[in-house]
Amino acid sequence: MQDGLQEIKELITREVGSLREEIEAVKTDLKAEISSVKSELKADIGAVKLELREESGKTHERLDKMDERFEDVDEQLETLTTSVNATQETVLRTRDHMDNRFERVEARMDHAIADLKVARSDISALRHDLQMEEESRGLSDATLFVSQRETNQNLEKRVAALEAQFSALRERAA
Taking only the tens place, the pLDDT of each residue in 50-59 is: 787 777 777 7
d(CA 34, CA 39): 9
Asked if the structure places residue 153 within a domain, the reply is no
pLDDT-derived band at 109, boundaries 50, 70, 90: very high
Asked if the structure places residue 76 within a domain, the reply is yes
Asked if the structure places residue 4 within a domain, the reply is yes
At 174 the pLDDT is: 67
pLDDT (average), residues 68-88: 90
pLDDT (average), residues 132-160: 87
Q: Which domain holds residue 99?
A: 1-140
Asked if the structure places residue 17 within a domain, the reply is yes
Asked if the structure places residue 30 within a domain, the reply is yes
> Which amino acid is located at 94 in the chain?
T
Question: In the chain, how many domains are there?
Answer: 1
Give the residue from 131, 151, 127, 128 showing the smallest Cα distance to 139: 131
Asked if the structure places residue 159 within a domain, the reply is no
Asked if the structure places residue 155 within a domain, the reply is no
Asked if the structure places residue 8 within a domain, the reply is yes
- CA torsion angle 114 116 120 126 (round to 10): 110
DSSP letter (8 states) at residue 20: H
